Structure 1
Amino acid sequence: MPKRRLASALLAVALAAAPLLARPAAAHQLWLEREGDSARLYFGEPIENQRERSGGLLDRIPNPKVFAADPAAALPVQRREDHFAISLPRGTGDVRMIEDGLAPFGRPGTEKVKPVMLAREGRAETRQVLDLELVPVAAGGNAFTLMLHGKPLPRAEVTLVAPPRWERRLHTDAEGRVTFETPWAGRYVAEAVHVDNTPGGSGDGAYAKVRYVSTLSFTVDKGIPWTER
């Protein structure tokens, strides 16, 4: 076996041997996938290859705002059977999504939490747009800074799901940086969660905290092949 292929295979074995931590069933996320000038927004669990459907949990996502460069210029979103479909203008760079229309949740008598779900597809841009976002240190690279309201977020957990349904939990360093290993060809989805103790809203919509769930999705062209079975 050539040395390069042997090194890649050994790296894959080492990564696969890392602890695989189970995720709670309720830990759904929104993530974007892109192919050319079209994008799809999914709701579910990448690690399980699970995508919720219309008539079920997908209907709980009321009004995702998908945009390219400007959050104020939202793109048309079409609800499909198991995703939201978006047509992208030619030349679009990274694509982002904000879903902040979900109602606060919490048990009676406890402080309510406002969920905000965020997503980004692509790693070409090195700017932050979303409130919580994994931002590439260099375009197309594997090093990222987790940014919260314009500042790096240190010591935060980031979960990476690789093409073969392999999962690893990492932490940002003191500067808010984290680096991913991407030995397989295919799509990677990273997730970061942060709870902000900032109250807001009024009446039935009042909340004590905001829970941000932010995903980053990108593809790797060269690497160990992987085919979904």
Structure 2
Amino acid sequence: MKRSILFDTETTGLDPATGDRVIEIAALELIGDLPTGNNFHVLIDPERDIPEEATRVHGFTLADLEGKPKFAEVASAFLAFIGDDELIAHNARFDFGFVNAELKRAGHKPLDMARMVDTLDMARERFPGMPNSLDALCRRFGVDLSARTTHNALLDCKLLADVYVELMGGRQHGLGLVAEGGQAPSVVYQGPSQRRVVRVVPTPAELAAHTAFVDKLSDPVWKA
């Protein structure tokens, strides 16, 4: 069954090219698009100051990260956890950009962008012209946001996992479709150029049952 990793970062700012650094990484394992409970989470000493505007977003100050490991010290554990699997994030280019800058600084190969699945792109395709932030999607899908007072990588991953399930068709999209000992089908986001339309055709028995039901109604609008 397909394994994928959903991950998020918190940072000192918006641009690794100007010296901003990662201060938190969280990652959740998904099997068949559903969380397994297996996760990776670490706070990181950014080796620089944290601007007040960044603290207002995620709540972390430099004092909170005192004594935490540097990215180079956790890079191998992070890479081992994510393996070679698909990597899912909201506004994924931001997270990939920061992680790849940190990996390069630590002497590791960057993540292959071909592994990237961006739930922001998915949401924009499904809800064009609508707000598609993580908060907006949680409200749209009825995901509880009460614990999200500031951005927190591990909490954001857990929220995004629920949103991702909904974007992929809901928690039952793969149930009942696999024989015992077989492999459950996984739903793969294919983009607009590869979208398929699935047409459902009722069976003769279903049509007969529907006709019998309609015949019991008084002046049904479905009958000419």
TM-score range, shorter chain: under 0.3
Greater share of strand: 1
Greater share of helix: 2
Q: Which has the higher contact order (CA 8 A, sep 6+)?
A: 2
TM-score scaled to structure 1, two decimals?
A: 0.22
TM-score scaled to structure 2, two decimals?
A: 0.23
Pair member with larger Rg: 2
